[in-house]
Copies of this chain bind each other. A is one copy, B any other.
Amino acid sequence: MDIKICLIGKGNVGTSLIELLKEKSEILNEKFNLNIKMVAIVEYDGALINEDGINLEEVLSKGERFRELPYWKVDSKPTDLYKKLDINICVEATPTNPNTGEPALSHIMEALNNGINVVSSNKGPFYLKYQQIEDLAKNNNLIVKYEASVASVVPALSIADCLIGNQITRIKAILNGTCNYILSRMAAEGITFSKALKEAQELGIAETDPTLDIEGFDAAGKLVILANKLLGWRKTIKDVKIKGISKITPQTIELAKSDGLIIKHLAIVDEDELIVEPRLIERDSPLNISGTLNVMELQTKYAGPIVLMGRGAGGPEAASAILNDLINIVKKRG
């Protein structure tokens, strides 16, 4: 079966997806009789377009100079392409404005309005307009998936299908690797917050402007999506009580330690509340993970807690989650 996709955004995640599709094309064909043709790769200023499927190897070999390829069309807009190229699935992986969800939000709504299924690695549109996006997809009999938007390779959202006979009642999670790295380093070395942050920035773990991470906004956005998807809520990021980690001192951490406890930046779904804040946990709690990992503890109604853990960020990690969404859309549309 031929599936035509377009990719919007050729950044870290987009490029990893191109690499993964190139590497897996044979296996996808053998195992799922699936021939994924990327017919457009769209950037803010134009697009690579080939109706018969872009040569991915060629695009990769060009690196950042992909605009030199002869099939680069300046100023092509996603909406023009949707209509012209008979696209089945649109993959959205642009950098997003965290307050507006744009341009991802428009790309997603336009794709759905044009009868195209969507896979997104962006969380912004979903912590802002979850209900509107899901309703639009449903009304147009389309599928929208966004596994990569929460905890990357950890199947934080699709695990819902594996627990459909159960009922998730509460969630405790660590959804931001930067915060967890900083707190882990402060606890291990007794260093200050600002020193740990600087170290994380030097290692490329924290961004130059780390505000969204350390003040909890990033984790809050992911938490909204988790609650909506796993518990059927319809919240937005405005509903989250958020406290960051920038005021935590080595003394606070030492005090907790002397009681055998650890300070972690938790994202919590409980009763009807969404909370992101530093909390004390036991040393042997499954949430006591170090480094940049993500972890989720799902409390179930019938069978205790289920814990999932893995890498919460990275290009190949997100690409692998996107490919999973792609295959599952094809299987459902079968």
Residues of chain A touching chain B, judged by Cβ–Cβ distance below 8 Å, are 20, 24, 147, 152-155, 158-159, 161-166, 284, 286, 289-290, 300, 302-311, 314, 316-317, 319-328
Q: From residue A13, how far is it (CB to closest CB) to chain B in Å? A: 12
Instruction: Indicate if the CB atoms of A310 and B306 lie closer than 8 Å.
Output: yes
A322 to B300 Cα, complex, angstroms: 15
CB-based contact B306/A309 at 8 Å: yes
Docked Cα-Cα span, A154 to B298, in Å, equals 11
Residues of B within 8 Å of A158, CB to CB, are 161-162
Given contacts A153-B300, A306-B308, 9 further A-B contacts (CB under 8 A): A24-B165, A152-B303, A155-B162, A162-B162, A165-B324, A165-B327, A286-B289, A305-B310, A307-B307
CB contact between A316 and one of B289, B303, B314, B320 (< 8 Å): that residue: B303
Contact of A307 among B309, B316, B325, B328 (CB under 8 A): B309
With most chain B CB atoms within 10 A of its CB, the pick from A152, A165, A308, A311 is A165
CB of A165 within 8 A of CB of B325, answer yes
Residues of B within 8 A of A316 (CB): 302-303
Q: Are B324 and A304 interface neighbours, CB within 8 A?
A: no
Which one, B309, B320, B326, contacts A302 given CB within 8 A? B320
Which 10 A-B residue pairs are closest in the complex by CB-CB distance?
A165-B323, A165-B324, A155-B162, A153-B303, A307-B309, A306-B310, A303-B317, A158-B162, A302-B320, A166-B320
Residue of B nearest to A316 (CB): B302
22 residue pairs bridging A and B, Cβ less than 8 Å apart: A20-B302, A24-B165, A153-B304, A155-B306, A159-B162, A161-B161, A162-B162, A164-B327, A165-B321, A165-B327, A166-B320, A302-B320, A303-B310, A303-B314, A303-B316, A303-B317, A305-B310, A306-B308, A306-B309, A307-B309, A308-B308, A308-B309
- Please, which residue of chain B has its CB at the minimum distance from the CB of A327? B164
Bound CA–CA A306/B310 (angstroms): 5
A71–B142 Cα distance when bound, in Å, is 47
Task: Point out which of A147, A166, A324, A326 has the most chain B C-beta atoms below 10 A from its C-beta.
Answer: A166
Inter-chain CA distance A235–B164, complex, in Å, is 29
Question: What is the CB-to-nearest-CB distance from A182 to chain B, in angstroms, rounded to a whole number?
Answer: 18
Contact A165 to B320, CB < 8 A, known contacts A308-B308, A310-B303:
yes
Whether A319 pairs with B307 at a CB distance below 8 angstroms is no
Residues of chain B contacted by A289 (CB below 8 angstroms): 286
In the complex, the answer to whether A328 meets B154 with C-beta atoms within 8 Å is no
Q: Please tell me if the beta carbons of B302 and A317 are within 8 angstroms of each other in the complex.
A: yes
Given the interface contacts A290-B284, A320-B300, does A306 sit within 8 Å of B154 by beta carbon? yes
Q: Provide the bound-state CA to CA distance between A286 and B307, in Å.
A: 11
A154: nearest chain-B partner, CB-CB: B306
